[in-house]
Amino acid sequence: MCLLSYYPPGVMPVREHLENGARLNAAGCGYALAAGGTLAVGHGLDSAEMISWFLDLRAALPDGPAMFHSRYAQTGAARLESCHPMNVGGSPGTVVAHNGYLFTSPDGRTDTRVLADDELPRFSLGDPAERFALAVLMEGNKAVIMSAGKDAIILNERLGSWVSGAWHSSPDYGGGLRITGGECSVCHCGSPVPVCKDCEAAAEPRRRALLGLS
């Protein structure tokens, strides 16, 4: 259910971990690297090309934080515009990538798009108390937020794992298959769609809470 990897300054990605994540989460990739006061961000549906490009970029720009995301499509298909990371509040200065299932949006946008457009701008991410409140509202979901010239933020860091200096949001870096076809990616019941109706209904209070709706 997606692999989101975060690399602190100076940490190099392991190619095999990126390839495992992209094989298990084949609906597109994306990256962000901070260099100086700017962010280099890219997206693509060809994972082999994206991984090679990201590794070359990271070798050239090792001194800032970086992240790489491979997407498992719970909402919609493999589309370039659904790849993470996404601009937060429409601003290219801050991007977010996400791992998990937040909710199904009535307007058809992906949950990460709603997180980036409508939810994150409601929180003061520089305030530790607000970050904590946001992470609690996201429940089992994880996210990495990068802003040009600022430290990266990992939401629900404790739900991922640190391996060789890098943080991974799921065990998919190891390559083991966790979700098979025909099952719900959240509860693993038999389901013809990636999120079953029960899990979709159970997530509606989370959507309302993150949007500040009563």
The residues that touch Zn ion, with contacts defined as CB under 5 A, are 184, 186-187, 196, 199
Q: At its nearest, how many Å lie between Zn ion and the CB of residue 191?
A: 6
Residues 47 and 45: their CA atoms lie apart, in Å, by 6
Of residues 81 and 204, the one with the C-beta less far from Zn ion: 204
Of residues 120 and 186, the one with the C-beta less far from Zn ion: 186
Of residues 126 and 205, the one with the C-beta less far from Zn ion: 205
Residue 115 DSSP label = I
Q: At its nearest, how many Å lie between Zn ion and the CB of residue 32?
A: 30
Tokens of 139: 């429940």
Q: At its nearest, how many Å lie between Zn ion and the CB of residue 42?
A: 32
Q: Which helix (H) or strand (E) holds 17?
A: helix 15-24
Q: At its nearest, how many Å lie between Zn ion and the CB of residue 203?
A: 10
80-117: b or e for each residue (b if 16 or more CB lie within 10 Å)?
eebbbbbebeeeeebbbbbbbbbbbbeeebbbbbbbbe
Residue that the structure tokens 């990271």 belong to? 58
Of residues 1 and 86, the one with the C-beta less far from Zn ion: 1
